[in-house]
Chain A
Amino acid sequence: MMSKKVLVVDDDPDVRSFVLTVLDENRYIPLVAQDGVEGFEMIEKDPPDLVILDVLMPRGSGIRLYHKMKTSDKYKRIPIIMFTGIALKSFLKSQKVLDEFKGMEVPEPEIYLEKPVDPEELAAAVKKQIG
């Protein structure tokens, strides 16, 4: 069976390195983007099986990328694990997200992990989403 591709979108090199190690050890193919803008470009170029997404980043935030994906017919089925220091409550309360999502059936993130997490917890979350 082919390994699954996981796109990690995070501006912090230490976090990227941690996630990549976990993905490597669990035989996934890791892809990397440093911000929301680059992340979306990569999704358009080569849609991954899963996205692990930070919120607070330069250029484009995870909130904007999440919105873009979940309102796109092409990408809305790609599962997303939010992996961030921003509280879930704030993510959900974000006026922008709520406004933009008004009238649309945009689901909450599949999994919301608040940093930091153990490698096992992250690996389990990935496995739960894409096996």
Chain B
Amino acid sequence: MEIKKILFVTKFEKLCYNALTSLLVLRKASLEHLVFLNVIEKDKVAMKRGRGYLKDEAVKLKEMANIRFIDWAENLFEMGLEVGAHIKISSFIPEILKVVKQESPDLIVIGRSGKGPLEQLYAGSDVSELTRQTDVPILVFKHLEGDNIVPEQLFDRPLFATNWSETNKTAVEYIKGLKNVIGEVHLVHVVKERVLKGKDTHEVQKIRKTERKRLESLCGELEHVGIKARAHVYAGEPQDEIEKAAKEYQASIIILGSSDKAAIVERWIGSVSKNIADNSIYPCLLIRKRHSG
């Protein structure tokens, strides 16, 4: 799997040119084409009582986005990349999906959802909505936000958290496609607390040994294609332990397979991958199993 084309979705406040430049290392991994998308939410220019359609506001916002994109594009064209841009007055997620259909990107880059907890509970976060409706991998960037980690070499030390699902196999193939940009990948499997409940030391050690062997086998698979890899077994709640592992090994990004849980289930009980994408201080790459056709 190669990343030839990236769709970079920006609202400008949180995802800017600096974030874009940290992705340019992917040129070594076959990146050729960047497509910008700025969605001006309809409510910013919607009809308001007695005021009608805010055409001037729409024109102003579109022109402001256009000026930014032209500036970015000039730099990227000079670097030899192909660049495209979409500026749309629309609804955020439907417009992203429309552009995904038109452009067929290999990766979507978005900022973290700006929605509050209550809004997310009923409407879902942008990341959740998007992962449910597209199987294109999604990189959730945390640029310009508080204490978030923004490494210069985004793919230098990825941490790949696996739960051995089918989706994780897709993620491994994706990681192999990044071999030219990865320094060392840390493979982590978290044994859930409930699995260890009631077990004696010997049984716990046995579980650890089994998982460690599986991880080492995966390390071997990655090393076979030239990627340095290290295995780590953690025990506890996956979301907390993955974040802990990322800190301990100074990860540059967290890579996760994303589940296919039903929307309503996910909103109420959450999904590890989407919770991490929404809450972690690290950039997160969510990979879903590709559906054929």
Contact = CB atoms under 8 A, between A and B. Distances in A.
Nearest to B73: A56
A35 B103 CA distance: 12
Contacts of B75: 90
Nearest to A99: B80
B188 to A, nearest CB: 38
A56 B84 contact: yes
B202 to A, nearest CB: 61
Contacts of B99: 58
Contacts of B83: 56, 61
Interface in A70-88: 85-87
Nearest to B81: A96
A95 B84 contact: no
B70 interface: yes
B70 A85 contact: yes
Given A59-B102, A63-B77, A86-B77, A96 B82 contact: yes
A40 interface: no
A35 B78 CA distance: 20
A4 B83 CA distance: 31
A59 B84 contact: yes
The number of chain B residues touching the other chain, given as a range, is 20 to 34
Interface in A31-60: 35, 55-60
Contacts, number: 60
A94 interface: yes
B10 interface: no
B78 A61 contact: no
A93 B77 CA distance: 8
Contact of B74 (A86, A96, A99): A86
Contacts of A64: 82
B145 to A, nearest CB: 28
A90 B85 contact: no
Contacts of B80: 94-96, 98-99
Given A85-B66, A86-B74, A94-B77, A61 B82 contact: yes
Interface of B: 35, 66, 69-70, 73-75, 77-86, 99, 102-103
13 contacts: A56-B70, A58-B85, A58-B103, A60-B82, A61-B77, A86-B70, A87-B74, A90-B77, A93-B78, A94-B77, A94-B78, A94-B80, A95-B78
Interface of A: 35, 55-61, 63-64, 85-87, 90-91, 93-99
The 5 closest A-B pairs by CB, nearest first: A95-B80, A90-B74, A96-B80, A94-B77, A93-B78
